Amino acid sequence: MTSITITRPDDWHLHLRDGEPLRAVLPHTAKQFARAIIMPNLRPAIITVEMALAYRARILAAFPAALQSTFEPLMILYLTDNTAPAEIVRAKESGAIHGVKLYPSGATTNSGAGVTDIAKCYATLAAMEWNDLPLLVHGEVTDPDVDVFDREKVFIDRILAPLTRRFPGLRIVFEHVTTRDAVQFVTEASSNIAATITAHHLLLNRNAIFQSGIRPHHYCLPVLKRETHRQALLAAATGGNSKFFLGTDSAPHGQASKENACGCAGIFTAHAAIELYATAFEQAGALNKLEAFASFHGADFYCLPRNTSSITLKKESWIIPEQYDFAGEPLIPLFAGTSLSWKLV
């Protein structure tokens, strides 16, 4: 196959940051995706409808004028111990807010304002179930006694499974699943439970973090897992099940924050997101399954119309730049300096 044309995809999990960094990364996403779910883990976190609408306006203002009508940011509220049920009603009424993100406090970048005890959120979760506003979940426990590679599995057992029983009508997106356990949980759960899968978790296993030395640009959260888990993710993504859809979790950090004695978690993939997914699907012999995963399943789950325009990828080798500009700092993309065999036309 020398080219493929698919309905323009959406990114159902994206970190855009704010200010100058936002201006630097936004064009990478807008050149390929029609819409993206925008993560609210800024500092300060986006905890109110007012903050989300102001952030949305900043994103739209950051566009080069020519792109303005072609990309839509879909906003998300950041759940805290104190998010009021009334805020959920306001979020739903705004029409611009498409979900609420659960970060267990301490689980990842800028999660300090996150939830310390899920029981504190029950009234708010009930309001979300009632108003049909999806819950997006960073599915890892933070207990230091739990091995870092087991945090997703333990989260399913301790938090997520009980939550689905308590709120059976709540729509939930289990974000960036990384394990066979998560794939199995989502597959067996009711139809209101779905999951996003990143390109990096489809392409890499945990050996990539330690390949002839420590590789900070392969460090993200949830951390890469062993090969058997990668195989399970690939099977889920390419298997045609509408519960699984594209979410890059592209998470830019400047070079100095990554190449650091205490480096930040996050892999930047927006520079070549759809090409990276195409590479993974091709390796699995399933390029014909890419369109539904990238362009249909997520829109259907979020009850949004499918896009009507299209994009084309050509089979053509190109070298990923060593770095991109990130507000005056270098930003090192995934697979910097190496070649990819699919290229967005």
Q: Which residues are catalytic?
A: 249
- Residue 201 Cα to chain centre, angstroms: 11
Q: Is 198 in the site for ligand DOR (CB under 6 A)?
A: no
How near is the Cβ of 251 to Zn ion at its closest, in Å?
6
66 to 125, contacts with ligand DOR by CB under 6 A? 108-109
Decide if residue 179 touches ligand DOR (CB under 6 A). no
What residues line the site for Zn ion (CB under 5 A)?
Answer: 249
> Which of Zn ion, ligand DOR, none does residue 160 bind (CB under 5 to 8 Å by kind)?
none
The C-alpha atoms of residue 310 and residue 305 are separated, in whole angstroms, by 14
Q: Identify the residue among 220, 246, 294, 313 touching ligand DOR (CB under 6 A).
A: 220
- Least Cβ distance, residue 264 to Zn ion (angstroms): 12
Cβ-based neighbour number of residue 227 at 10 Å: 11
136 touches ligand DOR (CB under 6 A): no
| Chain centre distance of CA 316 | 27
Residue nearer to Zn ion on the CB measure, 136 or 170: 136
Nearer to ligand DOR by Cβ, of 109 and 295: the residue is 109
Taking CB under 6 A as the rule, does residue 138 contact ligand DOR?
Answer: yes
Using the rule CB under 6 A, which residue among 41, 164, 178, 248 binds ligand DOR? 41
Q: Please, which residues bridge with residue 133 across strands? A: none
Residue closer to Zn ion, measured from CB, 105 or 341: 105
Among 266, 280, 332, 335, binds ligand DOR (CB under 6 A): 266
- Answer yes or no whether residue 217 interacts with ligand DOR by CB under 6 A: no
87 or 175: whose CB is closer to ligand DOR? 175
Residue 250 touching ligand DOR (CB under 6 A): no
Q: Cβ 289 to ligand DOR, closest distance in Å?
A: 26
Tell me how far, at minimum, the Cβ of 80 lies from ligand DOR, in Å: 16
- Of the pair 44, 285, the CB lying nearest ligand DOR is at 44
At its nearest, how many Å lie between Zn ion and the CB of residue 285?
Answer: 29
Binding to ligand DOR by residue 46, rule CB under 6 A? no
* Under rule CB under 6 A, residue 151 binds ligand DOR: no
- Binding-site member from 13, 15, 23, 243 for ligand DOR (CB under 6 A): 15
Q: Which CA distances in Å does 1 have to 7, 125, 289, 292, 341?
A: 17, 47, 14, 18, 12
Per rule CB under 6 A, count of chain residues that contact ligand DOR: 10
Residue 33 Cβ vs Zn ion, minimum distance, rounded to whole Å: 15
Binder of residue 265, out of ligand DOR, Zn ion, none (CB less than 5 to 8 A by kind): ligand DOR
Pick between residue 7 and residue 217 the one whose CB is nearest to Zn ion.
217
* Secondary structure of 9-28 as H, E, C letters: CCEEEECCCCHHHHHHHHHH
Cα torsion 175, 178, 179, 184: sign = positive
The residues facing 326 across adjacent strands are: 329
Residue ranges in contact with ligand DOR by CB under 6 A: 15, 41, 108-109, 138, 220-221, 251, 265-266
